[in-house]
Amino acid sequence: MSQQTANDEACQVDFYLLGDTSLEAGRLACRLAMMAWERQQKIFIVAATDKLAGQMDELLWRYPEGRFLPHAGPGDPDPGASPVTVVTVTGLNPADVVINLCPEAVPEPERFSRVLEIVPFADDERQASRMKYKTYRDLGITPRTHEINK
């Protein structure tokens, strides 16, 4: 087992590797957000563009099925009032959990308790995740990986 650094204790980074094409990053983001919300944590879901943030906001209204996850979408006048907020990287504020759907690593990850990176199945998109993994390692953080097959 590797020795942890001070940064590891300040921010835990987890990579979730999607095991096949039927698994969707957005749906996994919803499930991860639901689990964090049930632990009473403040969550930011970060999308690459305003359009993708809007799509994620819409997905949170429908998924997980039969559950409601209170959230604020992009442009919400009071995003701090909601436990889950969907933003682009420019709207990112300190939180317990950041679920990153962007091709770049979360800037200043030490501001957060956890950063969750979802790694798509497609090889071209996985390359961006490899770069993010390296970025976190260069910051002294040892990311954990998890295979997601369902």
Domain, as residue range, for 83: 9-148
Residue 69 lies in a domain: yes
CA dist 10 and 1 (Å) reads 18
**Residues 27-38, mean pLDDT to the nearest whole number:** 96
Alpha-carbon Rg of the chain, whole angstroms?
15
CA dist 89 and 66 (Å) reads 29
Our separate counts of H helices and E strands in the chain read 4, 7
Residue 48 lies in a domain: yes
Residue 2 lies in a domain: no
Query: Distance of CA 54 to CAs 22, 47, 85, 100, Å?
Result: 22, 9, 11, 15
Q: Indicate which CATH number applies to the domain containing 21.
A: 3.40.50.10110
CA dist 12 and 6 (Å) reads 11
Condensed to tens digits (0 to 9), the pLDDT of residues 41-72 reads 999 999 999 999 999 999 999 998 888 899 99
- pLDDT given at position 79: 65
Residue 111 lies in a domain: yes
Report how many domains make up the chain. Answer: 1
Contact 149, 20 (CB under 8 A): yes
- pLDDT given at position 76: 81
- pLDDT given at position 1: 34
Residue 19 lies in a domain: yes
Condensed to tens digits (0 to 9), the pLDDT of residues 10-25 reads 799 999 999 988 889 9
DSSP secondary-structure letter at 82? S
